[in-house]
Structure 1
């Protein structure tokens, strides 16, 4: 997991932003100021101390070294603190601390949404909870700001000094702040941040009410990415239920329709906007509603979508269309879609569903649970996930093996035959793997004649060697088959455990 730098070192600006619509409007220079806020704001925030430890993508039986991060959370309800999902991801210990350091308490998660990058915490102990939050005051939730409104970023230094940095809401975009392919409504606030108070994230206010959470800061451009109160309010409302429903998804991939030849092919008129639907996820909301690859999405929830993917928000102006699904709607809501199919207009209603990472052939993320794997005789088998692909380095999209990238980018080619992509990630040199030391990154098709669709079926298949006490392992690539001696590999497994391997398999 990639963490942002502390504010004292300059936070990086979030990437992967949709291209904003062109405008000729020139913005006037923004003046910023820093003041000492009213003391009672301190009663509405707490420090959050997190120790996290992720799993090693290359050696899934062990964890990476622990990391410690700190943030300033906002008290948003009696005994409840709002922070980012990134703060609690793979956390082994969470602690709440009053700004003056007078009280600390172990925390627990009430609700978390890693896609929206939000988490709600409280004190873990029922006996300590009321005492810890005594004399605190929840922040009210601000109304939606308008472009040009003044906003304030609240900081508390280590010595207890409070700072309120004034800035201006410059624009609104739909961005991803933490996870890939997960974009939410974000404010871009122009403000000159102070470097004295280090924190992983900070509350952002409007008229002493919570208006957002600072996610990152670009010290060169003096722009802060602030998760909007629209998304925060949606999260807090959903978190009130016994089961957190989360943010919904339509389950489609789209392409812009700016090219004139492409538009002619799609039979779009000059007045129509529209997005070409390039992929429909099997079992997703769009698929269940009858949306097909090749359709053109013209409007959603009554809002026309232009050829670049933007609609006109009544308050924020041009906003990327994904907010109509992920920001304006909840899981289980119905959304009306206007589409063009082979030149013919159609109206379709879809019931929005929540997509969990395990719903995907290759999950985009995996927090708070260990990865599945199997070590057999020295051969290491893993489930393919995006974190595994990212372990190939910064340029993993070009450096990772093509067959694994293909499974990630084109899951529809594999989904009919498997629940998970199981692959041989490497080989530990042992007496059982002689001749196979160089084998790696091969997708497993069958073991002992059994089709492999998950780590569970792989482990079960290795319990059934053939009559010669051999295991046959068939790979998808070039119909290659490897053989493993059961007696030798079982002896090797025992030696690996004696030499420090904590376990040989996991299938949860």
Structure 2
């Protein structure tokens, strides 16, 4: 077969190699074109949100228009923060230097990790966009670039800074305790959800300042390990989140404590303080066991492990990177005897705290009976007292945040306020009252409370708390007044949608599991104002 000779084929091989190398360098050494491609992958997100009003649970708060940032990733998806799209009623996205806005929707959300994945209805939106890949966590002092659309302007903003710290932080959005990066780049409202880039790879997603932070010139981002966990979780479109292994710990920095638990001089670890009876560690771990290592990572007395030569963080990091069904191996000492214990990480499907944590994209549960508005106690309600809720919310509500749920009491019920009527004379000024019993029977959760009320066939309902106070209501009069109270106060219904459907489907053997991005549920002990336990 005759060969085709070209001019290139007649050149000496070393000259041909130089020509090919120079062509390759010319294609990649144009920083302007690379920057332009990166800019095109950074998206502005327009959100119209209306959160529920937990003071008046059948209504929404006023609509507000907000914006955030996001980045195009593989699969024609946009990665952003969960708090950018939380309680959204309408979503639009906009490309760099493009005045057109496109309708978008949420494909997956992890409020726990403050991450969300969006899709766009018009698939041509992605035609000229190059997705960004997820990189590795950079070393300290690495220069990073932050892309986004902060308030104060319409165009894309790019700032630079250095990675100053990586450790577990309290995430402001849902209160989760997860690994986070800290940078000194300028970050402002609107930057949320934008990518933190090194070598045009995403090494973080900008998020809100950590809860309670007061330092200036600091920004925080969700690191690659958390991003990858969420992307893996999203593969089946079913939220599993960070799993639980069912125990709480405290540090062992006290030499006296270490001696008391018969540890050798070179032993270090975390002391088990609670084992949940319905968790993966039940009947395997015991209170006062000492966890020396988890999945091969030696635990220091301050409950940290090595991530790199110059990086340590909470040993909860190991659990954070697992998925339900993954194996967990523990090296344990019990009464001075070394043990190896195997656990299986399980999906968090139980509320560990009496006060449920912040809920998003959900309608509040409520019931109005005899003109009294009853609701479950949760952090959405507590935070309606504003930014200073720590000092402004009722002290009883704050007290209950430090209490664990049990099979006998999974949730608290609050008489939030009284819609004045003849049926509730004498109680018009009762507000924010936590109820413990109905006619002497202890309340398990909100659904149980509603069931006790509407299955009652006697004359008087007596509601009581643990201090001995009682509210007595005429049951027949309460039922007869229901329609009049609804009309007088503009109630759409006397109870939230689905309340009695859940009651009809529940049985004592299969209590309803209420899931949320709860600090206690997320293994972080968030319901307690103190450094969180390492693992739950």
For this structure pair, what is the TM-score category when the shorter chain's length is used for normalisation? 0.7 to 0.9
Relative to 1, partners in 2 of residues 1:147 and 1:36: Cα closer, same or farther, differing over 3 Å? farther
- Alignment partner for residue 307 of structure 2, among 313, 316, 328? 313
1:213 aligns with 2:208: no
**Matching residue of 1:332:** 325
State the secondary structure of the residue aligned to 1:353: coil
Deviations 1:378-429 (A, max 9, x none): 22211121222333555545665555445432224xx232332223233233
- Alignment partner for residue 226 of structure 1, among 221, 224, 227? 221
- Asked whether the 8 Å contact 1:444–1:473 carries over to 2, the reply is no
- Alignment partner for residue 279 of structure 1, among 274, 298, 315? 274
- Aligned partners of 1:66 and 1:357: how far apart in 2? 32
- Aligned partners of 1:45 and 1:113: how far apart in 2? 21
1:165 aligns with 2:167: no
- Aligned partners of 1:407 and 1:220: how far apart in 2? 30
- Aligned partners of 1:282 and 1:440: how far apart in 2? 35
Using the TM superposition, give the Cα deviation of residue 441 of structure 1 relative to its aligned residue in structure 2, in angstroms. Answer: 4.0
Aligned positions of 1:285-300 closer than 5 A: 285-287=280-282, 290-300=284-294
**Matching residue of 2:443:** 452
State the secondary structure of the residue aligned to 1:263: helix
1:262 aligns with 2:252: no
- Aligned partners of 1:481 and 1:160: how far apart in 2? 57
State the secondary structure of the residue aligned to 1:380: strand
Relative to 1, partners in 2 of residues 1:380 and 1:338: Cα closer, same or farther, differing over 3 Å? same
Deviations 1:312-344 (A, max 9, x none): 113662122111110x32222111112233333
Using the TM superposition, give the Cα deviation of residue 351 of structure 1 relative to its aligned residue in structure 2, in angstroms. Answer: 1.0
- Aligned partners of 2:347 and 2:237: how far apart in 1? 16
Relative to 1, partners in 2 of residues 1:430 and 1:344: Cα closer, same or farther, differing over 3 Å? farther
1:498 aligns with 2:487: yes
Aligned positions of 1:54-453 closer than 5 A: 54-123=51-120, 125=121, 128=122, 130-156=123-149, 161-179=155-173, 181-191=175-185, 193=186, 198-216=190-208, 221-287=216-282, 290-314=284-308, 317-326=311-320, 328-356=321-349, 358=351, 360-392=353-385, 394=387, 396-397=389-390, 400-401=393-394, 403-412=396-405, 415-447=406-438, 452-453=443-444
- Asked whether the 8 Å contact 2:173–2:208 carries over to 1, the reply is no
**Matching residue of 2:38:** 41
Using the TM superposition, give the Cα deviation of residue 205 of structure 1 relative to its aligned residue in structure 2, in angstroms. Answer: 0.4
The alignment yields a C-alpha RMSD, in angstroms, of: 2.9
Relative to 1, partners in 2 of residues 1:403 and 1:478: Cα closer, same or farther, differing over 3 Å? same
- Asked whether the 8 Å contact 1:389–1:396 carries over to 2, the reply is yes
- Alignment partner for residue 488 of structure 1, among 469, 477, 487? 477
- Aligned partners of 2:258 and 2:115: how far apart in 1? 39
Structure number with higher strand proportion: 1
Using the TM superposition, give the Cα deviation of residue 451 of structure 1 relative to its aligned residue in structure 2, in angstroms. Answer: 5.0
- Aligned partners of 1:319 and 1:194: how far apart in 2? 24
- Aligned partners of 1:63 and 1:393: how far apart in 2? 16
Q: 104-113 or 172-181, which moves further after superposition?
A: 172-181
Using the TM superposition, give the Cα deviation of residue 133 of structure 1 relative to its aligned residue in structure 2, in angstroms. Answer: 1.6
- Aligned partners of 1:438 and 1:280: how far apart in 2? 42
Report runs of 4+ in structure 1 exceeding 6 Å deviation.
157-160, 217-220
Using the TM superposition, give the Cα deviation of residue 291 of structure 1 relative to its aligned residue in structure 2, in angstroms. Answer: 2.1
- Asked whether the 8 Å contact 2:44–2:94 carries over to 1, the reply is yes
Unaligned runs of 5+ in 1: 1-34
Q: TM-score scaled by structure 1? A: 0.82
Unaligned runs of 5+ in 2: 1-31, 503-536
Deviations 1:199-237 (A, max 9, x none): 333211010111111114699643221211111122112
State the secondary structure of the residue aligned to 2:401: helix
Using the TM superposition, give the Cα deviation of residue 120 of structure 1 relative to its aligned residue in structure 2, in angstroms. Answer: 0.5
Relative to 1, partners in 2 of residues 1:441 and 1:269: Cα closer, same or farther, differing over 3 Å? farther
Using the TM superposition, give the Cα deviation of residue 156 of structure 1 relative to its aligned residue in structure 2, in angstroms. Answer: 4.9
Relative to 1, partners in 2 of residues 1:368 and 1:358: Cα closer, same or farther, differing over 3 Å? farther
**Matching residue of 1:21:** none
State the secondary structure of the residue aligned to 1:261: helix
- Asked whether the 8 Å contact 1:442–1:477 carries over to 2, the reply is no
- Asked whether the 8 Å contact 2:249–2:270 carries over to 1, the reply is yes
Q: Greater CA radius of gyration, 1 or 2?
A: 2
Using the TM superposition, give the Cα deviation of residue 36 of structure 1 relative to its aligned residue in structure 2, in angstroms. Answer: 11
Q: 80-89 or 387-396, which moves further after superposition?
A: 387-396
- Asked whether the 8 Å contact 1:447–1:472 carries over to 2, the reply is yes
Using the TM superposition, give the Cα deviation of residue 365 of structure 1 relative to its aligned residue in structure 2, in angstroms. Answer: 1.9
Relative to 1, partners in 2 of residues 1:188 and 1:445: Cα closer, same or farther, differing over 3 Å? closer
Using the TM superposition, give the Cα deviation of residue 357 of structure 1 relative to its aligned residue in structure 2, in angstroms. Answer: 6.7
Q: 88-97 or 307-316, which moves further after superposition?
A: 307-316
- Aligned partners of 1:111 and 1:102: how far apart in 2? 26
